[in-house]
Amino acid sequence: MASILPMVMDLIARKTRHDALADCTIETCPISSSYYFYRVSLPANAAFLALFSISLLGFLVTFALTRRALAFHFAMCAGVILEVIGYVGRIKSHDNQWKEDGFLMQIVCLTIAPAFMAGGIYLCLRRIVYAFGPENSRIAPESYTRIFIPCDLLSLLLQAAGGGIASSATHTNKSPVAGDNIMVAGLAFQVFTLGVFIILCLDFAIRTRKRYKSMGESAFDQNPLFIKLRHSWMFKGFLAALTLATICIFWRSVYRVVELAEGWTGHLIRQQWLFVGFEGVMVIVACFALNAFNPAFAFKEGVTGMGGLGTKKKARKMEQEREKAVGSEAVSGSNSDVEPGKGGA
């Protein structure tokens, strides 16, 4: 009974927030009665706001200069814009953590933002498979986009719907549990999708490595464009950056699933240092990694159109050029065996 009483009191306090706590301030009300349960750090959140603003500017400038990888830049910019809005909400809450507007801004925007970034990451694997050769992949390059982008959209819709339901419930002094559960379902599906994506990436890397050991450079696509690409330091840096970004987004998503599974009054959501480390730091590291080694720079002419290696027409043309080059080498090799001025057998 003694353990239930504090929970009941907490629910009563939250149900009557608009009335009893409407005029609360740091000086007049205990911090434990606020939405956050702690004093929101102005320096930390201002720093994240500045960093995400810089990242957004980086993606916009890169696309303006290169006009490449449209879908990737759209996904990353959408995610970073939501991060900026989320941290604006947290900064708004610094002075008054009993107002719901700032709290709802940050919990909805910061929850769904990495789903857009995950979509940008999914688009990149298709390009990598083409760069090394589709024969090294267990599935066709286009299948990565067809499988993971719809899954990412489903995850995003669940998180957005859950956030909207929870926000509406809070506005009407109702429990946000139903909306929170939908958000958790969306996040959990995002974790599952990222997990499968990581497994397929590892499988592709292992298969590519095995074929390289047995076949040498012939295990890779011999298109001159891709040969040059694979040896560039920017491309190698991009592979490392994409790996780092994927791990960061995955780790952050696992944290948010565990955090929100406890509800908006759980233990983890009350720990500001966990939020800063596992939400803010993980996401900004992922963004800056992809800012520094943007696929628009890493792939150059290999990236056109809506985010993949370009249109199917472009891909077919590149394949025809590769076959033509291979055929020319074969003809040249056979002619070298015939003495000048003499016909073949």
Question: Average pLDDT over the chain, rounded to whole?
Answer: 84
Query: pLDDT category, 182, cuts 50, 70, 90?
Result: very high
Nearest to 254 by CA among 118, 146, 148, 124: 118
Q: Which residue has the higher pLDDT, 224 or 324?
A: 224
Task: Write the secondary structure of the chain as one string of H (helix), E (strand) and C (coil).
Answer: CCCHHHHHHHHHHHHCHHHHCCCCCCCCCCHHHCCCCCCCCHHHHHHHHHHHHHHHHHHHHHHHHHCCCHHHHHHHHHHHHHHHHHHHHHHHHHHCCCCHHHHHHHHHHHHHHHHHHHHHHHHHHHHHHHHHCHHHCCCCHHHHHHHHHHHHHHHHHHHHHHHHHHHHHHHCCCCCHHHHHHHHHHHHHHHHHHHHHHHHHHHHHHHHHHHHHHHHHHHCCCCHHHHHHHCCHHHHHHHHHHHHHHHHHHHHHHHHHHHHHCCCCCCHHHCHHHHHHHHHHHHHHHHHHHHHCCHHHHHHHHCCCCCCCCCHHHHHHHHHHHHHHHHHHHHHHHHCCCCCCCCCC
Q: What is the per-residue pLDDT for 11?
A: 44
Per-residue confidence at 327, pLDDT binned at 50, 70, 90? Answer: low
User: For residue range 229-249, what is the model confidence (pLDDT) as tens digits?
Assistant: 899 999 999 999 999 999 999
C-alpha 48: how far from its chain's center?
17
- Cβ neighbors of 71 (< 8 A, separation 6 or more) are 120, 123, 306, 307, 308
Three-point CA angle 20, 21, 24, nearest 5°: 135
Question: Exposed (0-12), middle (13-18) or buried (19+): which is 44, by Cβ within 10 Å?
Answer: middle
Residue 271: CB atoms within 10 A of its CB come to: 15
Each residue's pLDDT tens digit, 124-172 = 999 899 999 999 999 999 999 999 999 999 999 999 999 899 888 877 7
Q: How far apart are CA 82 and CA 106, in angstroms?
A: 9
CA–CA separation, 242 and 4 (whole Å): 47
Q: What is the pLDDT of residues 65-93, one digit of tens each?
A: 999 999 999 999 999 999 999 999 999 99
The residue type found at 99 is K
Phi, psi of 8 (to 5 degrees): -65, -45
* pLDDT at residue 12 in the model: 46
Q: What is the pLDDT of residue 153?
A: 95
Specify the pLDDT at position 264: 85
pLDDT at 323 over 80: no
Q: Which of 36-40, 104-108, 194-198, 219-223 has the lowest mean pLDDT?
A: 219-223
The answer, yes or no, to whether residue 6 has pLDDT greater than 50, is no
Q: What is the pLDDT of residue 100?
A: 86
pLDDT given for residue 7 in this prediction = 44
Judging by beta carbons within 10 Å of its beta carbon (0-12, 13-18, 19+), is residue 274 exposed, middle or buried? middle
Q: Among 89-98, 128-137, 216-225, 279-288, which stretch is predicted with the lowest mean pLDDT? A: 216-225
Sequence-separated contacts (24+) of 200-203 with Cβ below 8 Å? 200/125, 200/138, 200/139, 200/144, 201/125, 201/246, 203/138
What pLDDT score does 53 carry? 98
| CB of 253 closer than 8 Å to CB of 310 | no
Query: What amino acid occupies position 320?
Result: Q
Q: For the chain, how big is the Rg over CA atoms in Å?
A: 26
pLDDT tens figures, 286-300? 999 999 999 999 887
Q: Domain locations in the chain?
A: 41-318
Provide the pLDDT confidence category of residue 302 given band limits of 50, 70 and 90. low
Tell me the C-alpha to C-alpha distance, in Å, between residue 246 and each of 78, 124, 167, 198: 17, 11, 29, 8
Is a pLDDT exceeding 70 seen at residue 318? no
Q: Give the fold, CATH level 3, of 41-318.
A: Rhopdopsin 7-helix transmembrane proteins (1.20.1070)
Q: In terms of Cα–Cα distance, which of 232, 239, 226, 210 is closest to 130? A: 226
**pLDDT for position 45:** 97
